[in-house]
A and B are shown apart, each in its own frame.
Chain A
C-alpha cells in the first residue's frame, strides 16, 4: 500500500450519496425482516405439524434456505426465475432472496423458542375455553417472541449485511451499489470501501444497541 495516497476529501464529498444508499439498504433489510418473520412463524408452526403434507414443504424451505449461500438464493430470484419468464427487478429480487433466507433461519429460531415454552401453557389456555389458535396467539406467541427477540435481531444484522449481495443482480441504489459505482468512476477504491465499511458498522452497531435497549424496556421480569 506504500504507493497509494489516500484522498479523503473526494470520498467525503460523496458521503451524502452513500448515506442515501444506506437508507435503501435499511429499507430492504427492514422489509425483508417483516416478511421473513411473518413467513417464519407460519413455517415454524407448519414444521411442528403432525400432517406430513404441511410439515414437508416447510422443512424443504428451511433446508434450502439454511444450507445454500445467500448469494445463490438472490441470484436465483433474479436470473433463475428470469429463465422461466418471471422478471423481478433487482430491488424485488434482492428483497425476495433475503426474505427467503431470513424465513428459513428465523423458522428454526422460533421453533427452538417454542420448545422452551412448556406445553402446559397451551393446555391451561385451552382449559380456560380458548380455541387452539387463540391460545397460540395470546399465550404462546408473545412468549416465543420474547425468547427469540435477540436472535431475531441478530438475523436483522445479517440481513443488513446480505443486502450488499444485491450488486450481483444489478442493484445500484443500495450502499454497496453506490460504492461500486463511485469506485468504477474514480478508481478511489480504498477510500470508498473504507467509508462503506464504517457506515455498515455504525448501522449494525446501532441496531444491536437499539435492540438491547428495547429488550431491557420490554422484557424485564
Chain B
C-alpha cells in the first residue's frame, strides 16, 4: 500500500516535471516549416520576379536556413513596420528582413550577430543641384519611416536647421515616386538599393551623389527575445554562412563585388 503510494507519487512527479519545455527551435523542427518575415519591396534583398515569386538575398538566406534545419521554407511578405507584430503574433518564426540592430530595438526583439552590412549613399535627381551629403541641409528630403538611414537623416536635418525638411514615407516605392516627381529632392538609401534603382531605369534622371557619412548599418536576423535556443542556432548559422563562403556567393549573386566585413575590430560580439 505504502509502496504503491510512493510509486504513484513518483510517477505523478515525473509526469508533472516531464513536459520539458519545447522551445521555438523544437517547434520549427517538428512542424517541418520555417516561416521567415521578408521585406519584398527592398531590392536586391527582397523583391518579386516577373512571375510574382519572392526573390532576393534575404529569400535565399531563408531558404539556406530552412535547408540547414531540414525543413521547408515559407516566405511571409512583411513590410518594415510590421516585423515585430508578425513575430509577436506568431505569424513568423524568424525575421530575415534587414533589421538594423539598434540598442533601442534590442530591448524588444532578439537580435543575432550581423548577417549583412549596408553603407548608405545620397540618391538624388540630376536637376536637383545636390553634390554631396552636406548640401542636403537646405532641401526637402525623405526616406522610409523608421529605417536606420531615415532616422539618421532626420536627426541631421534637424541639427543643421538650414531650412531643409524631412518626410517619412511608408514604403521604399513611395520614396522613389516622390523623388522622381520632385516632391523631395533627395533621399538616403543603402548603396545596394540605390544602384539597383539607378540601373533599373524605371525612374529616369536619378543619380547617386556620394556617400552618406554614417556608420555601417549592421543588420541582424530577429526572433523573439526570449528564444535563446533559436537565437543561438541563428548565430551559428550566420557564422557558417560566412565560413563556408556562401555569404560571399550570395553577395556576388545579388549585389556583386566583395561582401562587406561583418566583424568589428577590437571587440567581441
Q: Show the binding face of A for B, using Cβ within 8 Å.
A: 1, 3-4, 7, 78-79, 82-83, 85, 87, 90, 167-170, 172, 177, 180-181, 183-190
Q: Does B88 lie within 8 Å of A181, measured CB to CB?
A: no
Which secondary structure dominates chain B's binding surface? Answer: mixed
Q: Does A90 lie within 8 Å of B145, measured CB to CB?
A: no
Q: A3-B226, A78-B183 are in contact. Are A170 and B167 (CB under 8 A)?
A: yes
Residues of A with C-beta under 8 A to B102: 185
Residues of B with C-beta under 8 A to A4: 88
Q: For the complex, give the distance between the alpha carbons of A82 and B85 in Å.
A: 33
Q: Does A1 lie within 8 Å of B108, measured CB to CB?
A: no
Residue of B90, B108, B147 touching A186 (CB-CB under 8 A): B108
CB distance from B37 to the nearest CB of A (A): 13
Q: Does B168 lie within 8 Å of A181, measured CB to CB?
A: yes
Report the nearest A residue to B168, measured CB to CB. A172
Q: For the complex, give the distance between the alpha carbons of A111 and B265 in Å.
A: 73
Q: Does A82 lie within 8 Å of B226, measured CB to CB?
A: no
Report the nearest A residue to B107, measured CB to CB. A186
Q: For the complex, give the distance between the alpha carbons of A172 and B150 in Å.
A: 12
How many chain B residues touch the partner (CB < 8 A)?
Answer: 32
Q: Does B178 lie within 8 Å of A184, measured CB to CB?
A: no
Q: For the complex, give the distance between the alpha carbons of A184 and B105 in Å.
A: 9
Q: For the complex, give the distance between the alpha carbons of A4 and B167 in Å.
A: 31
CB distance from B128 to the nearest CB of A (A): 13
Binds A, one of B6-14, B60-68, B169-177, B234-242: B169-177
Residues of B with C-beta under 8 A to A180: 81, 145-146, 168, 170
Q: Does B178 lie within 8 Å of A170, measured CB to CB?
A: yes
- Using A181-B168, A185-B104 as known contacts, list a sample of 4 further A-B pairs with CB atoms less than 8 Å apart, ordered by residue number in A: A4-B88, A168-B174, A170-B168, A185-B102
Q: For the complex, give the distance between the alpha carbons of A188 and B85 in Å.
A: 9
Residues of A with C-beta under 8 A to B80: 184
Q: For the complex, give the distance between the alpha carbons of A172 and B154 in Å.
A: 11
Q: Does A170 lie within 8 Å of B88, measured CB to CB?
A: no
B70 close to A (CB within 8 Å): no
Residue of B146, B177, B224 touching A185 (CB-CB under 8 A): B146
Q: Does A83 lie within 8 Å of B181, measured CB to CB?
A: yes
Residue of B146, B182, B183 touching A181 (CB-CB under 8 A): B146
Residues of A with C-beta under 8 A to B52: none
CB distance from B77 to the nearest CB of A (A): 18
Interface string of B136-177 (1 = CB under 8 A from A): 000000100111000100000000000000111110001001
Report the nearest B residue to A84, measured CB to CB. B181
Q: Does B84 lie within 8 Å of A187, measured CB to CB?
A: yes
B109 close to A (CB within 8 Å): yes
Residue of B90, B145, B181 touching A172 (CB-CB under 8 A): B145
Q: Does A170 lie within 8 Å of B169, measured CB to CB?
A: yes
B89 close to A (CB within 8 Å): yes
CB distance from B172 to the nearest CB of A (A): 13
Residue of B83, B90, B142, B226 touching A170 (CB-CB under 8 A): B142
CB distance from B227 to the nearest CB of A (A): 8
CB distance from A135 to the nearest CB of B (A): 47
Q: Does B178 lie within 8 Å of A82, measured CB to CB?
A: yes
Q: Does B145 lie within 8 Å of A167, measured CB to CB?
A: yes
Q: For the complex, give the distance between the alpha carbons of A141 and B90 in Å.
A: 56
Q: For the complex, give the distance between the alpha carbons of A169 and B175 in Å.
A: 10
CB distance from A40 to the nearest CB of B (A): 29
Q: Does B183 lie within 8 Å of A185, measured CB to CB?
A: no
Residue of B105, B142, B170, B182 touching A187 (CB-CB under 8 A): B105
Q: Does A187 lie within 8 Å of B167, measured CB to CB?
A: no
